[in-house]
């Protein structure tokens, strides 16, 4: 078991195609490449995206016993989904929440995250580099048994 699950929520399939002033010009494929490059030897990345809350929950359930950590950008579900929080609460290994934009500089409704109630780390505003930092941290914890 050396897989790190990278989950992306709604609309992130459009990364690089719309709102470049907020989310930049790079695509989700670029995120996948960046994550793979950030992965320590012996670890692999499984990169997934869905616009559907239930699908994301099913993937979190599947990660139990199969993934050493989860990097999650829940998209707008960050601010609405107690169901995703509940699913993450069934998962013991490290969870790192990533936001491409600095959500705290944006509208007030983006300031609260249900997922942050579970996440071991939260990264916002570092652009795609946030994913790479999250991958490096999970590799570090998984390799050394460091506390999450
Ligand atoms: O900053 C982030 O990564 C967000 O999680 C992105 C979500 C937003 O609802 C959160 O508040 C912050 C939105 C994802 C929408 O992604 C798009 C990407 C490109 C073009 C259009 C939407």
State percent of the chain over pLDDT 70: 97
Our answer on whether the CB atom of 121 is closer than 6 Å to any ligand 1 atom is no
The domain limits of the chain are: 3-144
Burial of 135 (0-12, 13-18, 19+ CB in 10 A): buried
Q: What pLDDT score does 49 carry?
A: 98
Q: Is the pLDDT of residue 146 over 80?
A: no
Q: Ligand 1 atom closest to Cα of 74?
A: 5
Q: What pLDDT score does 144 carry?
A: 85
User: What mean pLDDT is predicted for residues 71-99?
Assistant: 98
Q: What is the band of 131 on the pLDDT scale with cuts at 50, 70, 90?
A: very high
Q: To test the ligand 1 pocket, which listed residue (56, 75, 101) has its Cβ within 8 A of the most ligand atoms?
A: 75
Check: CATH 3.40.50.9100 for 3-144? yes
């Amino acid at each position: 078991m050396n897989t790190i699950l990278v989950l992306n929520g709604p609309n992130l399939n459009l990364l690089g195609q719309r709102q470049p002033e907020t989310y930049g010009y790079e695509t989700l494929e670029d995120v996948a490449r960046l994550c793979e490059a950030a992965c320590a030897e012996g670890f692999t990345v499984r990169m997934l995206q869905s616009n559907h809350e239930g699908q994301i929950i099913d993937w979190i359930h599947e990660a139990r016993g199969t993934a050493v950590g989860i990097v999650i950008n829940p998209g707008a579900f960050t601010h609405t989904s107690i169901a995703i929080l509940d699913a993450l609460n069934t998962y013991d290994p490290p969870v790192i929440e990533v936001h491409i934009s600095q959500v705290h500089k944006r509208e007030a409704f983006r300031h609260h995250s249900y997922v942050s109630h579970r996440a071991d780390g939260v990264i916002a505003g570092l652009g795609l580099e946030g994913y790479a930092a999250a991958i490096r941290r999970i590799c570090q914890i998984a390799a050394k048994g460091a506390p999450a």
